Structure formats: structure tokens, C-alpha cells
Amino acid sequence: MTNAQTNDVRSTAGIPGGDLVVTGVSKRFGGVPALTDISLTITPGKVHAFIGENGAGKSTLAKIIAGVYTPDEGSLTLGGRPLTLRSPREALDNGIITIAQELAIVPGLTVAENVYLGSEIASRGFLNRREAHRRFDALATRIGFDLSPDVVAGSLSIADQQKVEIMRALSRNASIVVMDEPSAALSSQESVALHDIIRSLAQRGSAVVLISHFLNEVLSLADTISTLRDGHLISTVEATGATTESLIEGMLGRSLSAAYPEKILASADAPVVLTVSHLSAAGVDDCSFEVRRGEILGIAGLVGAGRSELVRAVFRDAKVTQGSVHLNGRQLSGRHPSESIAQGLVLIPESRKQMGLLMGRSVMENISLARLDLVGRFGWLSKHRERVTVAALMEQTTVKGATLATPATMLSGGNQQKLLFARSMMCSPSVLIADEPTRGVDVGSKRAIYDLLVQMASEGMGVIVISSELDEVLGLAHRILVMRHGHFTAELTGDDINESNVLAAAFSEVRLG
């Protein structure tokens, strides 16, 4: 699309035209540089991707464009005019809207109310719900999202909440749409639909800023790719000349030797550490399985297959209607996750923000939270013991760019995820369940997390991994159970562990056992 055609499209759509130019932008937090002298141009009608490891500065740059942060140095112009943004509302007034990595859903409002939040449709001073529903239905039909406008948003899955965010952005006539990991919580089919939406946004003249850890997604969608590392702009290149290998080398400053650690298989006669027998719960139908000491068990399946529901029931974070769980030969007692933790079973949940971390509290508080009894005496907390214990765990899990007092919200996604691993290790569990352990995590941090999982298993822990990234399950698991409609359809071991077998079982109507 030529510049003239782009401006015509944007004029027809009522979108203000012109490049967004970032010049010499720097940003510091507490004296620590997050961005240093960044200059680039975002062009209408194009998809411009920001890539880099967590902590590289890409989300900080996106937040400056979105009005969340103001730069310490440098400037922005839009269409040749100076642009000073002091809030996301001012960005929205200038045609800039963000779909953030961490969802911004108001859980008590309906889907339609969330979509039109801040741009409510009114008639004579009153909300026009009929018109809002009409526009909602038209928008949902156009983009192919099957969502009811009257459902309370907080009751939706993470994938459906992501759809609400996307619809909110599309309901506004945005000139620039910033998308931070938009497909992280979506299934393969939903991601394909999202990619079509991103392309259509660019075709109608909007600029799309895409932040993604999925490099294949970046290469498929982007026209231009900017690589950031340690707060510096390393390169801005046309996507047609880029490869996965060249992007990784730019992000890391070195080549990535291997995506996954070598598999160290557990002994065939290793003791069973977890036995789940005929377990049923909401979304789970009569599931039985075992995990051996030193084994990494992968649980695969399509979104909605019941994977997360199963492990939450095992962990006692969901009501069990039938069945039993035995840990180290003893029946797991109690009905609360704290009792599971005390007996040696821990869970890293699929959403670190909603179910894992206290985002406003410090690194130290987040790590020590689950076992305050280990850093106290006679009911009193020993700050010295807490500091020493947490510092050792931070080093072991390679948490970077943070002090003990740093709030979790200030950390990159990869380092936030490592806090959950550090907390889990503090509990000295027999079994670790990791649900989507690398969601929203960059290439370098992914490898660090894979190394942690393999290390835990090699030290005798039983590990369960759930991931929507099939390559991740294939690369880590010693054995794979495939779920569909709340029950298992296949168990794969050895040479049977491959993509085609997992996919065939994910669509199978056969019930295992």
C-alpha cells in the first residue's frame, strides 16, 4: 500500500494520518536506565514489531507511546506535530490504544460494558444499551468472536478475556494500536483469526505496534522489526530480510545453542510420588494418572480441554466431586491449597497476575509468602533470615534487575515468572505443577525456566507441565497425557511423542482407560 493510498484509507476511516516519530527517547526507573536514546518511526498501514528479551525495554517503549509513561528525555511527534502524552486517556484522544500484556478487564462488568468502557454509548444523557448491543453484535460478527454481550467478564476464561480486550480496541477508531503479547492466551485457531484482524487493521491504514515472543508470528505479520536489548535499540529491519536465527542473535547478542535442555529420563523403577485416582471436578471427568520421582509429565490438549481444571482440582484449588489424590503414598488431606503446599504439592498458576503474585508487594514478600514459618521463630518474622533465604533463591532462579525491595509489578514478565519458581522452591515440594510456565516470557528467559524444570526433576521432584505451546510439551516431557472434554484420550511415551500423535489425540473421541 502506497503512502497516498494509506492516507486515503485513513481519511475514509476518520483516522488522523501521519507517522509517529520517536526521537532520542530515554527512560529511567529509580536511576536505572530502562531505555536509552531510542529513535524510530512507526508508519501508518504497517505492522511494526518490537522484539527483545524480557527487560529489554520493549514494553516500556510501548507504554511511552500509549501515554502510561512520559520519557525523561526525547520527544514524540504524530503527523509532524509534537505529541505530549500524560495519560492513556490523552493517548486515546490522539487515536492511540493499547491491548496490554496483563489484561485490563473489569471483572464485575459485562462483556459489552467492558468493550465500551470509557466510550459509553449514550442517548439524551442515558446509556443506550440497545444501541451498544447492536454495535457489539455487529463487531463480534465482523471479527468472528463468539461472545455474549451480557456475560460477566470475570467469569470468562483468560482466552475469552483477551478477546474482550481486542474488541475494545477495535470498537474505537484508532490510528495506532499497540498489542502487547495479544496471542499469548489464544488457541491456534483463535490466533489465526487474530492475525487476520491485525492485517486488516494495517490494510485500513492503522499502524499496529506488535510485541510478541512468538518469532514465527512476528515474521508472519510484521513489515518492520525493531530489536531492543538492555534498553538500547539494536536494529530496525524490514521483515522480509529477517530469519528466526537472525532475530534471536539480535535479541541475545549471541546464538541460541538449543531450545530445550537434554532430557534426563527418570528410572523406570523410580518411586511414584503422585497418584490421582478417578478424579472428577468441574470440567474434569474421571481422570487417573501417576507421576514418578524425577519425571516430567506433560499434559497437552486444546484450549478448554480441562487441563488447568484438572491440576487445580489436584491442588485443591477447585472443588473435587469424586476421586482421591495420594502424595508419597499418603492421601492428600484438606480442602485448601495451603494444606496441599504443607504436604509437598505446589502449583504455578497459568496467570501470574491474577492467581500468582501480589503485584504491588516486594520481591522478598512474594517469594517468602508461602512459607513464612521457615523464616520466623515463635510466631515472629526474622527479617534477616527472610533476606538470606530469599536472596539465595533469587540467585538460584536467576531473577535479574531487582532488589529484595523491588515491587513485583516493576519486573519483566520473565522475572515475575521466576519469582513463582523461587516461591515454589522455598516450599521444598515433592511435586511441582507448572501451568503455562513460560506464558509472556522471552526466548532467553524461556530457556532459563526450562533449565529450572529439568533441574527440579533431576533432583528428584515430580514435575507436571501444562502448555498451550505444543513444542514446549514435546521438548520437555518424558511422557505426555492428552486431554479432550475433561478426560484423557492418549498416553504417549518414547518415540510416540511427536506432534502428529498429540494433535490426533487432541481431536480424538476415544477415552483412555
- Determine the pLDDT at residue 124: 64
Domain chopping of the chain, boundaries: 3-104+174-252, 106-155, 258-344+429-513, 350-408
Radius of gyration of the chain (CA): 24
What does the pLDDT look like over 408-435, one tens digit per residue? Answer: 988 888 889 999 999 999 999 999 999 9
3-state secondary structure of 168: helix
What is the arrangement of strands in the sheet containing 207-211, beginning at the earlier edge strand?
Answer: 96-99, 176-180, 207-211, 47-51, 224-229, 232-238
- Determine the pLDDT at residue 341: 92
CA distance 53 to 62: 14
Residue 186: which pLDDT band, with cuts at 50, 70 and 90?
A: low
Computed over every residue of the chain, the mean pLDDT equals 86
Residues 44, 205 contacting (CB under 8 angstroms): yes
Q: Single out the residue of 450, 449, 456 nearest to residue 427, CA to CA.
A: 456
Domain 258-344+429-513 coded CATH 3.40.50.2300: no
Q: Residue 330 corresponds to which cell in the numbers above?
A: 499418603
Give the ranges where 181-226 is alpha helix by DSSP (H). Answer: 188-203, 215-221
Q: Single out the residue of 289, 312, 257, 327 nearest to residue 477, CA to CA.
A: 289
- Determine the pLDDT at residue 9: 38
Residue 13: which pLDDT band, with cuts at 50, 70 and 90?
A: very low
Counting residues of the chain whose pLDDT is more than 90, the rounded percentage is: 43
- Determine the pLDDT at residue 46: 95
CA distance 467 to 250: 26
Spell out where 328-403 has E strands. Answer: 330-331, 345-348, 376-377, 380-381
What does the pLDDT look like over 253-295, one tens digit per residue? Answer: 765 556 788 888 888 889 999 999 999 999 999 999 999 999 9
- pTM, two decimals, is 0.60
Q: What is the mean pLDDT of residues 196-206?
A: 85
Fold classified for 3-104+174-252: Rossmann fold (3.40.50)
Is the pLDDT assigned to residue 8 strictly greater than 60?
no
- Determine the pLDDT at residue 117: 83
Residue 390: which pLDDT band, with cuts at 50, 70 and 90?
A: confident
- Determine the pLDDT at residue 123: 67
Give the bridge partners for 177, in sequence order: 97, 208
The sign of the CA dihedral 160, 166, 172, 173 is negative
Instruction: Give residue 480's Cα distance to chain centre.
Output: 22
Residues 38, 83 contacting (CB under 8 angstroms): no
- Determine the pLDDT at residue 17: 60
- Determine the pLDDT at residue 12: 35
Q: Single out the residue of 179, 219, 186, 183 nearest to residue 201, CA to CA.
A: 179
Is the pLDDT assigned to residue 83 strictly greater than 90?
yes
Is the pLDDT assigned to residue 375 strictly greater than 80?
no
- Determine the pLDDT at residue 462: 96
Ranked by mean pLDDT, the top range of 91-100, 227-236, 405-414 is 227-236
How many other β-carbons are positioned within 10 Å of the β-carbon of residue 493? 11
Q: Residue 334 corresponds to which cell in the numbers above?
A: 484438606
C-alpha separations of 28 from 56, 60, 510 in Å: 13, 10, 56
Q: What is the mean pLDDT of residues 153-167?
A: 81
Angle (CA) 142-143-145 rounded to 5° is 115
What does the pLDDT look like over 239-253, one tens digit per residue? Answer: 998 988 888 888 877
Q: Residue 469 corresponds to which cell in the numbers above?
A: 505451546
Q: Residue 481 corresponds to which cell in the numbers above?
A: 497425557
Residue 166: which pLDDT band, with cuts at 50, 70 and 90?
A: confident
Q: Which residue has the higher pLDDT, 423 or 105?
A: 423
Is the pLDDT assigned to residue 400 strictly greater than 60?
yes
- Determine the pLDDT at residue 185: 63
Q: How far apart are the first and last CA of the chain?
A: 56
Is the pLDDT assigned to residue 316 strictly greater than 90?
yes
Is the pLDDT assigned to residue 73 strictly greater than 70?
yes
- Determine the pLDDT at residue 257: 53
- Determine the pLDDT at residue 26: 96
CA distance 77 to 80: 6
- Determine the pLDDT at residue 23: 97
Residues 252, 448 contacting (CB under 8 angstroms): no
Q: Which residue has the higher pLDDT, 401 or 419?
A: 419
**DSSP labels for 396-416?**
HTT--S--TTSBGGGS-HHHH
Q: What is the mean pLDDT of residues 380-392?
A: 85
Residue 345: which pLDDT band, with cuts at 50, 70 and 90?
A: very high
CA distance 165 to 298: 30
- Determine the pLDDT at residue 2: 46
Q: Which of 129-143, 216-230, 466-480, 481-495 has the lowest mean pLDDT?
A: 129-143
Q: Which residues of 475-484 are buried (b: 16+ CB within 10 A; e: fewer)?
A: bbbbbbbbbb
